Amino acid sequence: MITRFTILALALAMSSQADTLRLRNGSTVNGSFLGGTADDIRFSVNDEVRHYARAGVAEITFGSIDAPSAGPEAPRIDVGPDIVGAPFLRGSSGYIPLEREIGMMSRGGGMYGMGATVYRIQGPRSPVRVRQGDRLVFVVRLNPGGDPRQFQLYSLVSRMGYRQTQPTMGGTPPGLPVTINEVGNSVYEITPARALYPGEYAVSPMNSNESYCFGVDY
């Protein structure tokens, strides 16, 4: 079983605007997400670093992730995330890791008809949340010669305890339009070509079942 938040230890300090940690007991904590591991989430509250058991965390909602507006200076050169091949969400003061899951292919009849194929991800909702008004920019660092066009943005439908892609009659599920810009040496920005509606989404390479998930709230 793939453990959620495995990649969270790689996060940098987040925005100075408040992030929200919602615990499974119903309580919430406002502060700044600092990172974590598969078992432990670090959160800064009033300049105090607190630790929360991963099993007790329901979700993390990040504050505004809009990057500061650029002045009329030379174009920024981005060295990219530390991890090669994994897309991150750009925050105002660092990279926000997405929820990493493995999509499982399901094929058959049912409501979609014989031969329809979907890819399913465990859990109806990603714990990584952004707001509809946020400007979403994903950053990925590739090995030299890597093709950023392999990364596709997919809309997911929540049902019966999991998320899934739109059904397709074989082949790759339909992706959402994105724009891609190189901002460093083998570092690329991937930006949705239009605003995303509230719902569940995943960025995934076409040659892999790895899915980097997030959700958009109102």
Q: Using one digit for the tens of pLDDT, what is the confidence trace for 74-113?
A: 455 567 888 999 999 998 778 889 999 999 988 765 555 5
Phi, psi of 11 (to 5 degrees): -75, 150
- Residue 70 counted as domain residue: no
- Residue 71 counted as domain residue: no
Answer whether residue 8 shows pLDDT above 60. Answer: no
Tally of CB atoms within 10 A around 196: 17
- Residue 130 counted as domain residue: yes
- Residue 22 counted as domain residue: yes
Range of the domain at 57: 6-65+82-217
- Residue 100 counted as domain residue: yes
pTM listed for this prediction: 0.68
Structurally, how many domains does the chain consist of? 1
Q: Read off the pLDDT band of 4 (50, 70, 90).
A: very low
CB under 8 A, 24+ apart: contacts of 43-52 = 43/19, 44/13, 52/21, 52/23
- Residue 1 counted as domain residue: no
- Residue 72 counted as domain residue: no
